[in-house]
Amino acid sequence: FYQAYKAIAHGDLQNRFLPLEHLKEQSKQSYFTKVIPLAIIHSDYESITNEAFQNNTIRKDSDGFLTRTNNNPVFEQKHITLTAPLRSSSKGLQTSFVLSASNIFNTTDRVIESIQVDFNDGAGFRNIVLDQNIVVDYLEAGKKEITFKLTLDSDETIIRHSNIEITYSNADLHALFNRVITTFNASITPDLSPYGETVSYPGTGEYEVYLSADNVLDKPIFLVDGFDPGDGRDITGLYDLLGFDDNGTTSNLGDLVRTEGFDVVILNFPIYTRTADAAVIDGGVDFIERNAMLLVELINTINAQKVGTAENVIIGPSMGGLISRYALNYMENQNMNHETRLWISFDAPHHGANVPIGFQHQFNFLAFGLDDFWVLGDQNVEELQPIIDGMLKSSAARQMLTDQFEPHITNSDGVTFNSSLALPRAHPFKAVLDARMNGLTASGFPELTRNIAIINGSGVNNRYPDNTVNANNLNPGTRILNANINVMTGADLKVETFFTPNAGTQIQTSKVHLDFAWWFPLANDRINNADSRAFTYSNGVDAASGGL
């Protein structure tokens, strides 16, 4: 919806559209208001025909202006109608929507006389009153298809569809399944000023206790969530991840340990709002220190509630391994009794995480490097921007990645890699975290626990296979993406991505070519590539089989 809105608004010389950022701000504010805005585009527009370019009826003159060489028709009339909620997901079976009059962008000469919407809640179509909240009660979570019916003054009816993902709220889970998920705040506020934060705030988390058959909290095993943009893996999802195939039988590790008398405590870092600075915080990609203080809070809470003297077990998968390591280190540094006998770090990136730098370059370029196409305007891919802003530039990604795209960019365009900075480069946040983590205890790890590390790799350098029939090994320098995408008539996007190279060598790991046909005068080809060089002592880690 955003991509189409931006394109139509750019060509509207009467300025009848709000800035796209206005719609994005509405989406953000809906986390505070708990009301999801709807929007409608109903627009006529003209575009220059391909034939006008191909037969030279339209050409670019020496001064860079488009000129018409004859009286042949050059425009074709087109129409677009789009409808959408301005959020892709919402938490809670009772969901409120609103369609504001200012969010109906009708640039045609036809009047929309009525708007009806079926929210897929079993109630069928309902007449929409503009600027009034619509309360919808869903019976179950899942993807909901929202159907809009627009009736015009010509009696024409237009049907459009869009989707929203509805998930259970904690209150829903309690009412429907008698589950108790507790939302809590940390009482300890970490100092985040080394990261440039002018004000440090405590975090907000949520946890659930799955008791064993005796229904007594006496043998806690903590499971700490890891890197999770958008909270796509909630507490239910975390518990389900403990499932495994036991010789053809589906089993769950959580269920098994509970039959042995242990209690499972799951800590999740949700999306939440912070009124102090009107911020929406994605806890799953937040600062590791802030999430660690939530774990400290939870350990203290459970220790105060549990019966008996059994000590805790703490399991940290992925980034959860770093969060739990920091939390235990902190408690030992502060002489706080964590009452923990065993810490299990499962595939945690203690020496840094990796996302292929070729993909980082490509996503960032396509998200933010296509904003100056002359009369075509801003062609940045809106759908990729949350991947950059909410994932690769998140606080947690900056703290973990051994090779992060931002330090490679010195050009003012914000997307072009400096070819002289081809070696892996971490964001400055990583050095800050490493120093703080290692400074809490003599070893940099918890020292009053038994520590076990498990890797999710072969351990013997077995290679990952590619997806060809021959299942060839994925090695340093392997091309992993080769795509030619028809963007529109007269324009193809060609992208190639390669794994980082062998030790001491340098290759192109990302190639992006937006290729315009010879007859298309509205834009020039756009090429943006990136080189990567491996350290002399190690192959690039993209092709590593794990356990480095």
Tokens of 129: 């009153």
Tokens of 251: 């089993």
What is the C-alpha separation between 368 and 364, in angstroms, rounded? 6
Res. 48 pLDDT band, cuts 50 70 90: confident
Task: Give the H/E segment covering residue 329.
Answer: helix 319-333
Of 294, 286, 300, 354, give the one whose Cα is nearest residue 324. Answer: 294
CA-based R_g, the chain, Å: 27
E strand intervals along 107-156: 112-118, 125-127, 134-137, 142-152
Q: Has residue 547 got a pLDDT over 60?
A: no
3 state DSSP class of 102: strand
* 444 touches 437 (CB < 8 A): yes
Task: Give the H/E segment covering residue 25.
Answer: helix 20-33
Q: Has residue 427 got a pLDDT over 60?
A: yes
What is the C-alpha separation between 474 and 468, in angstroms, rounded? 11
> What number of other Cβ atoms are within 10 A of residue 191's Cβ?
10
Burial class (CB in 10 A: 0-12, 13-18, 19+), 134: middle
pLDDT at 149: 98
Task: Enter the pTM of the model.
Answer: 0.92
Residue with tokens 């370059």: 361
- Dihedral sign, CA of 206, 319, 287, 273? negative
pLDDT at 548: 43
State the helix-helix crossing angle for 319-333 and 428-439, rounded to 10 degrees: 40
- pLDDT tens digits, residue range 117-161? 999 999 999 999 999 999 999 999 999 999 999 999 999 999 999
DSSP state letters, 416-474: PBPTT--S----HHHHHHHHHHHHSSSSSS-SSSEEEEE-SS-SS-PPPB-SSTT--B-
Average pLDDT over residues 420-447: 98
Of 66, 41, 43, give the one whose Cα is nearest residue 56. Answer: 66
pLDDT at 525: 80
Residue with tokens 């209150």: 171
- pLDDT tens digits, residue range 337-388? 999 999 999 999 999 999 999 999 999 999 999 887 655 678 899 999 999 9
Do β-strands 263-268 and 491-498 pair in parallel, antiparallel, or remain unpaired? Answer: unpaired
- DSSP 8-state assignment for residue 311: P
* 402 touches 534 (CB < 8 A): no
- pLDDT tens digits, residue range 192-233? 999 999 999 999 999 999 999 999 999 999 999 999 999 999
Q: What does residue 34 show for φ and ψ, rounded to 5 degrees?
A: 65, 25
Burial class (CB in 10 A: 0-12, 13-18, 19+), 547: middle
Of 31, 27, 162, 169, give the one whose Cα is nearest residue 87. Answer: 27
Of all residues in the chain, the percent with pLDDT exceeding 90 is 80
What is the C-alpha separation between 389 and 366, in angstroms, rounded? 13
What is the C-alpha separation between 184 and 268, in angstroms, rounded? 11
Domains of the chain plus CATH, in order, are 2-169 (2.60.40.10), 180-352+441-454 (3.40.50), 357-425+467-543 (no CATH)
- DSSP 8-state assignment for residue 338: -
Average pLDDT over residues 51-78: 77
Angle made by CA atoms 83, 88, 90, in degrees to the nearest 5: 120
Question: Whole-angstrom distance between the N-terminal and C-terminal Cα of the chain?
Answer: 42
Residue with tokens 């000469």: 109
**Phi-psi category of residue 504: left, alpha or beta, with phi > 0 → left and psi -120 to 50 → alpha:** left
Residue with tokens 């100092």: 191
Q: Which of 164-173, 420-429, 456-465 has the lowest mean pLDDT?
A: 456-465
What is the C-alpha separation between 322 and 429, in angstroms, rounded? 14
Q: Which residues 6+ apart lie within 8 Å of 14 measured at CB?
A: 107
